[in-house]
Structure 1
Amino acid sequence: MTSRLISLGSKALAIGGTGVCATALYRYQSVLKEESNSPTNELISFSHQQPSATAVNKKQCIIIGGGVVGVTAAYKLAMKGHSVVLLEHNSAPGKECSSCAAGGMQRSNPVVDKGTWIAVTKSFVPFTRYLFGGEHEPYQFFHIDWFNTLSDPFFLRWSATFAKTSLFPSSDQNRLQMEQLSFTNYAVKDMVQMMEDKKDSMAKKSGYNPTGSLSLSYDVVDAKKKAANPTHGNTLEPSKRLEGEDIITSVEPSVINQEQKPTSAKFEFETCAASSERFTEELADRCKNDPKLDVKFLYNTRVKAVSTAQESERRKVTQLQTNKGVIDVKDAQVLVAAGAWTPHIAAMMGLYAPVYPLKGYAMSISANEALASNTMLTASDLPTRIVCDKYMFTSRLGDEVRITSIGEFSGWSTSPTASVEKEFRREAVRQFPLLESFIMQAKVKCGHRPYVSDGVLLLGRVQEFDNLLVSAGPGSNGWKLAMGSGSVVEMLVSGKTEDQISDELGFDARSFSPAGRVVDSPIFAKLCRARWGVSNEREHDFLRAKSK
Structure 2
Amino acid sequence: MKVLILGSGVVGVTSAYYLARQGHEVTVVDRQPSPAMETSYGNAGQVSFGFSSPWAAPGIPRKAVKWMFQEHAPLKIQPKMEPTMARFMLKMFGNCNAERYAVNKERMVRIAEHSRACIDALRAETGIRYEDRQRGLLQLFRHDSQVEAVAKDMKVLEQCGVRHRLLGAEELTAVEPALARVPGKFVGGLHLPDDQTGDCHLFTNRLAAHCRERLGVTFRFDTEIQRIRRGNAGVEGVITSAGELTADAYVVCLGSYSPFLVKDLGIRLPIYPVKGYSLTVPVVDDGGAPQSTVMDETYKVAISRFDDRIRVGGTAELASFDLSLPEKRRATIDMVVRDVFPEGGDVDRAEFWTGLRPMTPDSTPIIGATRYDNLWLNTGHGTLGWTMSCGSAQLLADLVDDRAPAIDPAGLDVARYAA
Contact 2:11–2:385 at 8 Å: present in 1 too?
Answer: no
Change (3 A) 1:87 1:355: same
- Does residue 421 of the first structure (1) align with residue 364 of the second (2)? no
Matched residues, percent identical? 21
- Equivalent position SS for 1:416: coil
- Does residue 77 of the first structure (1) align with residue 1 of the second (2)? no
Q: Partner amino acid for 2:261? A: I
Change (3 A) 1:382 1:509: same
1:432 aligns with one of 332, 341, 344: 341
Looking at structure 1, the residues matched to 155 and 196 of structure 2 have their Cα atoms a distance apart, in angstroms, of: 18
- Does residue 462 of the first structure (1) align with residue 384 of the second (2)? no
**1:511: which partner in 2?**
411
Q: Partner amino acid for 2:200? A: S
**1:492: which partner in 2?**
399
- Does residue 284 of the first structure (1) align with residue 208 of the second (2)? yes
Change (3 A) 1:355 1:209: same
- Does residue 114 of the first structure (1) align with residue 114 of the second (2)? no
Looking at structure 1, the residues matched to 99 and 288 of structure 2 have their Cα atoms a distance apart, in angstroms, of: 45
Q: Partner amino acid for 1:346? A: V
Looking at structure 1, the residues matched to 172 and 362 of structure 2 have their Cα atoms a distance apart, in angstroms, of: 36
TM-superposed CA distance for 1:333, in Å, is 0.8
Please give the per-residue CA displacement for 1:166-204, whole angstroms capped at 9, x wherever unaligned.
Answer: 25966xx74454244223211211112333x3x7432xx
TM-superposed CA distance for 1:426, in Å, is 2.5
TM-superposed CA distance for 1:380, in Å, is 1.0
Q: How does 1:203-282 map to 2 (within 5 A)?
A: 205-224=129-148, 234-235=156-157, 236-245=161-170, 247-258=171-182, 261-282=185-206
Q: Partner amino acid for 2:242? A: K
- Equivalent position SS for 2:8: coil
Q: Partner amino acid for 1:165? A: N
Q: Partner amino acid for 1:201? A: G
Change (3 A) 1:219 1:144: closer
Please give the per-residue CA displacement for 1:32-79, whole angstroms capped at 9, x wherever unaligned.
Answer: xxxxxxxxxxxxxxxxxxxxxxxxxxx111111100000000011111
Q: Partner amino acid for 1:320? A: V
Q: Which moved more, 1:407-416 or 1:59-68?
A: 407-416
TM-superposed CA distance for 1:265, in Å, is 2.3
Please give the per-residue CA displacement for 1:143-172, whole angstroms capped at 9, x wherever unaligned.
Answer: 11112xxx22222222222122325966xx
Change (3 A) 1:138 1:445: closer
Q: Partner amino acid for 2:410? A: R
Contact 1:110–1:232 at 8 Å: present in 2 too?
Answer: no
Please give the per-residue CA displacement for 1:63-110, whole angstroms capped at 9, x wherever unaligned.
Answer: 111000000000111111101111111111011111222232333321
- Structure 1-normalised TM-score? 0.70
TM-superposed CA distance for 1:417, in Å, is 2.7
Please give the per-residue CA displacement for 1:299-328, whole angstroms capped at 9, x wherever unaligned.
Answer: 1112122221234xxxx222322223222x
Q: Partner amino acid for 1:342? A: S
Change (3 A) 1:240 1:267: same
- Does residue 188 of the first structure (1) align with residue 97 of the second (2)? no
Looking at structure 2, the residues matched to 426 and 176 of structure 1 have their Cα atoms a distance apart, in angstroms, of: 31
- Does residue 325 of the first structure (1) align with residue 258 of the second (2)? no
TM-superposed CA distance for 1:225, in Å, is 5.3
Q: How does 1:280-359 map to 2 (within 5 A)?
A: 280-290=204-214, 293-311=215-233, 316-327=234-245, 329=246, 332-359=248-275
Looking at structure 1, the residues matched to 324 and 85 of structure 2 have their Cα atoms a distance apart, in angstroms, of: 19
**2:3: which partner in 1?**
61
**2:67: which partner in 1?**
123
Please give the per-residue CA displacement for 1:468-527, whole angstroms capped at 9, x wherever unaligned.
Answer: 11111232223222111211222222233xxx32xxx2x3213212125379xxxxxxxx
Change (3 A) 1:232 1:421: farther
Change (3 A) 1:68 1:232: farther
Task: Tell me the matched-pair count.
Answer: 412
Deviation above 6 Å: which 4+ runs of structure 1?
Answer: none
**1:362: which partner in 2?**
278
Looking at structure 1, the residues matched to 364 and 143 of structure 2 have their Cα atoms a distance apart, in angstroms, of: 32
Gaps of 5+ in 1: 1-58, 127-136, 371-376, 520-548
TM-superposed CA distance for 1:226, in Å, is 5.0
- Structure 2-normalised TM-score? 0.90
- Equivalent position SS for 2:273: strand
Q: Partner amino acid for 1:296? A: T
Q: How does 1:166-185 map to 2 (within 5 A)?
A: 166-167=96-97, 174-175=102-103, 177-185=105-113
Looking at structure 1, the residues matched to 217 and 155 of structure 2 have their Cα atoms a distance apart, in angstroms, of: 37
- Equivalent position SS for 2:31: coil
TM-superposed CA distance for 1:458, in Å, is 0.4
- Does residue 153 of the first structure (1) align with residue 83 of the second (2)? yes
Change (3 A) 1:78 1:513: same
CA-based RMSD: 2.6
Q: Partner amino acid for 1:143? A: K
Change (3 A) 1:382 1:343: same
Change (3 A) 1:218 1:103: same
Looking at structure 1, the residues matched to 46 and 202 of structure 2 have their Cα atoms a distance apart, in angstroms, of: 14
Looking at structure 1, the residues matched to 369 and 176 of structure 2 have their Cα atoms a distance apart, in angstroms, of: 45
- Does residue 394 of the first structure (1) align with residue 303 of the second (2)? yes
- Does residue 410 of the first structure (1) align with residue 352 of the second (2)? no
Looking at structure 1, the residues matched to 177 and 365 of structure 2 have their Cα atoms a distance apart, in angstroms, of: 37
Looking at structure 2, the residues matched to 222 and 180 of structure 1 have their Cα atoms a distance apart, in angstroms, of: 21
Gaps of 5+ in 2: none
TM-superposed CA distance for 1:138, in Å, is 6.0
Looking at structure 1, the residues matched to 205 and 307 of structure 2 have their Cα atoms a distance apart, in angstroms, of: 16
Looking at structure 2, the residues matched to 139 and 297 of structure 1 have their Cα atoms a distance apart, in angstroms, of: 41
Contact 2:230–2:236 at 8 Å: present in 1 too?
Answer: yes
